[in-house]
Amino acid sequence: MTRAEVGKLIGDTGIIPAIRAGSAQDALFAAGAIFRSGIPVLELTMTVPDALGVLADLRAEHPDCVVGAGTVLHAALAKECLQAGAQFLTSPGLEESVIAVADERDVAVIPGALTPTEVMAAMKSRADFIKVFPCSLLGGPGYIRALKAPFPDAPLIASGGVNQVTASEYLKAGACVLGIRGELIPSQAVQSRNEDWIRELAGRFIKIVRASRTREA
């Protein structure tokens, strides 16, 4: 997929599940469950053991889905992720060297930002989306709404503290995508290999996104 196609898929889906697991096997299980639930995109954090190997395996096993690399902290790691097949890069903060690597390879990039200054810098950097993380600690949906007032065109992803109760509020506040981890992929579900649990949660979040967009239309 091209950079534009990856960005469109993320925007259309409205959810980026983030996988942070204790083993490669756990990560592969969680990713498979997410893809089979109907969510065609996910972020694999580079804190997963053998994350680059897992990323390459997921690209090979699920060629029709989009796999991004998360917690990419510097340019060298960004290059390794792209070599392993990452289709987008995300970071918890605004790291210009990672954005530069993504731009050079024409790959979608999602830097983290928290303050208005960081949001401005991310917009100037041609970021495809801007991950507001951890937004729950600064007021949750209210903080997203506050950022959208001066930055109405900023493609904000609400990440950190998104759950079934707050998801629709984040979308109403102006987030275009939700970044979700534990509330969508519980560690207990992964450890017990309970795919039905993950698929049930995925279905609920998908319905929330669809309902929010129906109301907006």
Average pLDDT over residues 108-136: 94
Average pLDDT over residues 88-98: 96
Q: List strands edge to edge, sheet with 88-90.
A: 108-110, 88-90, 66-70, 41-45, 15-19, 177-180, 156-159, 130-132, 112-113
Q: How many CB atoms lie within 10 A of CB 177?
A: 25
Residue range 191-216, pLDDT digits in tens: 999 999 999 999 999 999 999 988 77
Residue range 131-176, pLDDT digits in tens: 999 888 888 999 999 999 999 999 999 998 899 999 999 999 999 9
Q: How confident is the model at residue 217 (pLDDT cuts 50, 70, 90)?
A: low
Amino acid at 16: I
DSSP state string for the chain = --HHHHHHHHHHH-EEEEE--SSHHHHHHHHHHHHHTT--EEEEETTSTTHHHHHHHHHHH-TTSEEEEES--SHHHHHHHHHHT-SEEE-SS--HHHHHHHHHHT-EEE-EE-SHHHHHHHHHTT-S-EEETTGGGGTTHHHHHHHHTT-TT--EEEESS--TTTHHHHHHHT-SEEEESTTTS-HHHHHTT-HHHHHHHHHHHHHHHHHHHHHH-
Contact 183, 158 (CB under 8 A): no
Measured between alpha carbons, how far is 32 from 62 in angstroms, rounded to an integer?
8
Looking at residue 111, its pLDDT comes to 97
Amino acid at 116: P
Amino acid at 149: A
Measured between alpha carbons, how far is 3 from 128 in angstroms, rounded to an integer?
9
Residue range 21-77, pLDDT digits in tens: 999 999 999 999 999 999 999 999 999 999 999 999 999 999 999 999 999 999 999
Q: Which residue, among 151, 148, 177, has the nearest Cα to 162 in the 3D structure? A: 177
- Determine whether domain 3-216 maps to CATH 3.20.20.70: yes
Measured between alpha carbons, how far is 64 from 42 in angstroms, rounded to an integer?
12
Measured between alpha carbons, how far is 15 from 213 in angstroms, rounded to an integer?
13
